[in-house]
Structure 1
Amino acid sequence: MDSIEIVLVMLLAVVASAYLMRLLPSAIPLPLVQIALGALIAGKSSHGVELEPDLFFLIFLPPLLFLDGWRIPKSGLLRDKGTILELAFGLVFFTVIGAGFMIHWMIPAMPLAVAFALAAIVSPTDPIAVSSIASNTPIPKRLMHILEGESLLNDASGLVCFRFAVAAAMTGAFSIGTASLTFVWLVVAGLGAGVAVTMAVTWVQRLLTRRFGEPVGSPILVNLLLPFGAYLVAERLNASGILAAVAAGVTMSYVELSGQAMANTRIQRSAVWDTVQFSLNGIMFVLLGEQLPDIFKGARATIEESGHLNPWWLAVYAVAITGGLLVLRFAWVWASLRLTIFKQRLRKEDGPQISWRLVLATTLAGARGTITLAGVLTLPLLLPNGEPFPARALTIFLACSVILLSLLIASIGLPGLLKGMTFPAEPEEQQEEDLGRRAAATAALEAVKDAQVKLMEANDCVDPNVYPEAAGRVIAFYEHRLREVAPEKESTWRRTDSAERELRLAGLKAERRVVFDLARHDKISDSISRKLVREIDLLEERYK
């Protein structure tokens, strides 16, 4: 099977995984289904996919990290910044040191620098994997925000530690002073490159749009290329391209608040990015399954070099490392929570009681995924002297095993652990939504009144009498919306909102059915039917 055919088959496997999820039990997470399909492809293909580490890193990581930085809730990041920073940096360094020494002690054939590299690459968590589990598990929104923030930042910290460890394995030397200065440069220059590239590209794009207009599709393509540009610029500066991609995404979220992009562009761009995210994450796990047979063979050879002829030692090592990571994470989460409560008591504030089930849930929710896979596959093939990189196949196998086991543990443990737990309501989101609706409707009323006067006074106004009636209809619509979200009528509105949404959806489905029927019988043209159906689709998305 040719490489192009394998890529197409993998994309088809990603599509098939989404439909298989509808047939399989809900407790099975999507990544595991994709890994199984990848293993099936490996069994049917005549040769495997040969991955170039640097190219693999460039293709997969920048867009995923960029999108994470763009879409993560910033309010949640700021509210729980202390907890997130403790998990994203403190826990990563704690894991690298603790798990690194443990791995080297268990597997003497693996050099200490390589053991630290393995510990570093399995330290980042993956919210995509957890969210697929959370779709059927009542994980509190605030906990999910913390996990998302942790993943966004520990991707960078874990991969930077991984880079240092690999450099030490390649050169055989490590200096704390040099590493500290290099780390500062990696972070500062990486973040600066991400912000600078995003701002520069945005400025140039706006300048060209004001002068020449906005070509169809061009802003979306520029947006897709942005994370790669930030990553490559940072790498040229010997800084962290990973942090540059994250910083570019966060900067893009603030650029978006300017409201310069056209509505049609935002709608299409969101759909494109959803497709990119689903495709890249899916291909990553399918690739993992496709690589597993060769990875297992190489890992078995490394185990035999250490004196263990029984391949079951691979399973022992994988379980031991996964268990060690869980213990380290549990200890850090518990200590972090105790420290938070202690600080609150010093300020004479009432601190929350420790819920062991919630601490365990936070521990199990630290599933590994795409970042771990993408990072470990970038291990160099050869040392500078031409010798094979030590224990490369075993390191990749153990990292992949941690991904599989952490996903299994989370999918099995979280539903049972959180079953029956009640969580405090989070009314602030609904309050913020109501505030936004009231403010938007009020501003719209003022704008409609001003526009009515300007249009009636315009020189090209044909019939001034039509504007009062048209304005009255638009004003009535916004006044109705204001009455809907009025605080004193909130309870009544909430009771009728669901029923009204169902009725509107039923009406829109009937509209669409009739439009398609008219087009099939040549009563209206295809272009008109597409225009009408698009309007109906946009309205339907509003009420979903």
Structure 2
Amino acid sequence: MHLIETTLFLLLAVVLSGWVARITRIALPLVQIALGATVVLITGEAVDLKPDIFFLLFLPPLLFVDGWRIPKEALRRDRAVILELALGLVVFTVVGLGFLIHWMIPAMPLAVAFALAAILSPTDPIAVSAIASRAPIPKRLMHILEGESLLNDATGLTCMRIAVIAATTGAFSLTSAVGTFAWLAVAGVTVGIAVTLAIGLIKGWISRRWGEDVGGQILISLLMPFAAYLAAEAIHASGILAAVAAGVTMSFTERQGSAMAATRIRRAVVWDTVQFVANGLIFVILGEQMPSIMARAAEVIQSTQHKEIWWLAVYVFAIVGALAALRFVWVWASLKLTLFRKRGKHAPPKVGLRLVAVMSLAGVRGAITLAGILTLPFVLGDGTPMPARNLAIFLAAGVIIVSLVLASVALPRLLKGIELPPEPSHLEEEDRSRVAAASAAMRAIEDTQHAMAEGKSNPDLYAETAARLMELYRHRIETRTHVEGDDVVLARQSDEIERHLRLAGLAAERAELVRLGRMRLVDEETARKLIREVDLQELRYV
């Protein structure tokens, strides 16, 4: 019963955090962390954060849906920058920061310092997007950050696993480390793809033979990331990369359009809810761990060569500064060599320092960092306690808080007027697609009308109905094929005007149906059905 009450309390905190963030205009992750800490201070009880369970419950669905929904064209276009950040930057951070931490704190063994640096390397785009809500991040920049985060979690956790093995055994082999990394990555991606394709084939075969069950299809999509994650972990591969690969594969299998419209609409709503709840719970649980971690500050400082507690703040700010500096150098080089390289006869655009600063500050750390550092073993291979374990946990928690606060203060200011090489416009592709779809619809209506009218006593009724429907599609085709120059702009302005007018009309329809239902001039079931029709129409225009 206690577990149920705690879960409900955490969900309530997630709901309250959204209201508080809107009222105070404080970044949502900071509000959620503060609420989590407040809950602990009031009740005196916190969730026992077991890292393995945490990873299993939260990582697979979040990484799966991110891989499913992230634009694949954006991943392909900026794949070089994303791979440089997700792979190269992580290794660069582990080496540079690891040596710095060991130099600052000689009491922390080099392997433990590398483990701490590895788990501090993954970034948290959820926190970045929430922090930058007041000054929205350009789409292309956000796509790069999202793509980076899909991969650097696995890279950072893999580097940490290798460092932990070195710390517990006292031995390190570069060949073994590279082999371990390759197996984790290749096997993880392969398992994710294979699981998704296999489940897709099975459910497709069942749906074709016995029909599609909407609820069952949604539940299968919810279970799919867990299946990929657990299957990969069972063969000691990367469950994180398996979940990402499963999501990316799911987006390609969905292009076949075999699922029913009702399945797609309801599944999207369910996944939106899962994403909102999981993101919120991560930061609330993170906040719950903070009081106990900070309360051990006096004990933690004893493991260093200093006795004053304020030295812990020095260490935290030094690590945050080093992370930002390492990221700044790598991002500048990456953008200079990749995103802003010379194309043809055109001179390459300059890499603005403000853009580099934005991408450096956007590398905030989140709950994955804390959950990962908590997986540090308590003892070494010979049974002696892991040196500086509590200190590593404290420093990781401090870096999370400081990076979030720093980004929430600086990012909205730096983002104003930021420029990136523009994303290609998809308006012409959209127009061509609408025309092609409308033409296909007209052919199908005409063929179906002839088939339905054959042998009927009133064929004109079928022809009139088909003509009325086809006129809508003809209008769509004409407004997108027989215009050019300034007329294209006017046509799109007309579409926008029509959108606003339709939304106004649908809002009035819904208000009137609600009034009729409230006055009992129409029965409840009919009112609900009609309001749902209005809602579905509104989804086309929002």
Give runs of aligned pairs for residues 429-440 of structure 1, distance below 5 A.
Answer: 429-440=426-437
The answer (yes or no) to whether the contact 1:441–1:479 under 8 Å persists in 2 is: yes
The answer (yes or no) to whether the contact 2:89–2:327 under 8 Å persists in 1 is: yes
Give runs of aligned pairs for residues 303-342 of structure 1, distance below 5 A.
Answer: 303-340=301-338
Matched, 1:449 2:446: yes
How far apart are residue 109 of structure 1 and its match? 2.4
For the residues of structure 2 that align with 1:424 and 1:351, how far apart are their CA atoms? 11
Match of 2:180 in 1: 182
1:135 corresponds to which of 133, 137, 149:
133
The answer (yes or no) to whether the contact 2:128–2:364 under 8 Å persists in 1 is: yes
Alignment TM-score, normalising by the size of structure 2: 0.94
How far apart are residue 357 of structure 1 and its match? 1.4
Is the alpha carbon distance of 1:342 and 1:145 closer, same or farther for their aligned partners in structure 2, counting shifts above 3 Å?
A: closer
Counterpart residue type for residue 294 of structure 2: F
Match of 1:254 in 2: 252
The answer (yes or no) to whether the contact 2:214–2:262 under 8 Å persists in 1 is: no
Matched, 1:4 2:4: yes
For the residues of structure 1 that align with 2:296 and 2:78, how far apart are their CA atoms? 43
SS in 1 for 2:232: helix
SS in 1 for 2:214: coil
For the residues of structure 2 that align with 1:478 and 1:409, how far apart are their CA atoms? 52
Q: Deviations over 1:2-49 (max 9, x none)?
A: 332222111101011111122112xx2110110010010010123222
Match of 1:536 in 2: 534
The answer (yes or no) to whether the contact 1:298–1:394 under 8 Å persists in 2 is: no
The answer (yes or no) to whether the contact 2:303–2:391 under 8 Å persists in 1 is: no
Counterpart residue type for residue 184 of structure 1: A
How far apart are residue 138 of structure 1 and its match? 4.2
Give the number of equivalent residue pairs: 539
The answer (yes or no) to whether the contact 1:227–1:245 under 8 Å persists in 2 is: yes
Q: Deviations over 1:71-95 (max 9, x none)?
A: 1111011111111111111111000
Is the alpha carbon distance of 1:42 and 1:255 closer, same or farther for their aligned partners in structure 2, counting shifts above 3 Å?
A: same
The answer (yes or no) to whether the contact 1:220–1:265 under 8 Å persists in 2 is: yes
Is the alpha carbon distance of 1:341 and 1:499 closer, same or farther for their aligned partners in structure 2, counting shifts above 3 Å?
A: closer
Please list every run of 5 or more consecutive structure 1 residues that lacks an aligned counterpart in the other structure: none
Match of 2:351 in 1: 354
Match of 2:121 in 1: 123
How far apart are residue 216 of structure 1 and its match? 3.5
Counterpart residue type for residue 447 of structure 2: D
For the residues of structure 2 that align with 1:455 and 1:300, how far apart are their CA atoms? 83
Instruction: Give the alignment's Cα RMSD to 1 decimal.
Output: 2.1
2:281 corresponds to which of 280, 283, 293:
283
Counterpart residue type for residue 454 of structure 1: A
1:52 corresponds to which of 50, 53, 69:
50
Q: Deviations over 1:368-403 (max 9, x none)?
A: 224323323333345455554433333222222222
How far apart are residue 343 of structure 1 and its match? 5.9
Q: Deviations over 1:481-525 (max 9, x none)?
A: 223334523211232333322221221111111212222233322
For the residues of structure 2 that align with 1:280 and 1:467, how far apart are their CA atoms? 51
Match of 1:218 in 2: 216
Give runs of aligned pairs for residues 92-491 of structure 1, distance below 5 A.
Answer: 92-340=90-338, 344=342, 349-383=346-380, 387-421=384-418, 426=423, 428-457=425-454, 463-486=458-481, 487-488=483-484, 489-491=487-489
Alignment TM-score, normalising by the size of structure 1: 0.94
The answer (yes or no) to whether the contact 2:355–2:418 under 8 Å persists in 1 is: no
Match of 2:15 in 1: 15
SS in 2 for 1:210: helix
Q: Deviations over 1:165-199 (max 9, x none)?
A: 22222333221111221221111111110001001
Please list every run of 5 or more consecutive structure 2 residues that lacks an aligned counterpart in the other structure: none
The answer (yes or no) to whether the contact 2:195–2:228 under 8 Å persists in 1 is: yes
Match of 2:65 in 1: 67
How far apart are residue 253 of structure 1 and its match? 0.7
Is the alpha carbon distance of 1:138 and 1:274 closer, same or farther for their aligned partners in structure 2, counting shifts above 3 Å?
A: closer
For the residues of structure 1 that align with 2:266 and 2:339, how far apart are their CA atoms? 46
Is the alpha carbon distance of 1:287 and 1:161 closer, same or farther for their aligned partners in structure 2, counting shifts above 3 Å?
A: same
For the residues of structure 1 that align with 2:457 and 2:376, how far apart are their CA atoms? 71
| Percent identity of equivalent pairs | 58
For the residues of structure 2 that align with 1:186 and 1:422, how far apart are their CA atoms? 37
The answer (yes or no) to whether the contact 2:93–2:326 under 8 Å persists in 1 is: yes
2:511 corresponds to which of 513, 538, 542:
513
After the TM superposition, which of the residue ranges 335-344 and 531-540 deviates more from structure 2? 335-344
SS in 1 for 2:356: helix
For the residues of structure 2 that align with 1:540 and 1:240, how far apart are their CA atoms? 42
Q: Deviations over 1:234-276 (max 9, x none)?
A: 1111111111111101100101101011111111111111111
SS in 1 for 2:263: helix
The answer (yes or no) to whether the contact 2:340–2:350 under 8 Å persists in 1 is: no
After the TM superposition, which of the residue ranges 309-318 and 392-401 deviates more from structure 2? 392-401
Counterpart residue type for residue 450 of structure 2: V
The answer (yes or no) to whether the contact 1:299–1:397 under 8 Å persists in 2 is: yes
For the residues of structure 2 that align with 1:73 and 1:509, how far apart are their CA atoms? 31
Counterpart residue type for residue 354 of structure 2: R
How far apart are residue 106 of structure 1 and its match? 1.4
How far apart are residue 354 of structure 1 and its match? 1.9
For the residues of structure 1 that align with 2:340 and 2:227, how far apart are their CA atoms? 45
Counterpart residue type for residue 87 of structure 2: F
How far apart are residue 163 of structure 1 and its match? 1.9
For the residues of structure 1 that align with 2:474 and 2:49, how far apart are their CA atoms? 59
How far apart are residue 114 of structure 1 and its match? 1.7
SS in 1 for 2:87: helix
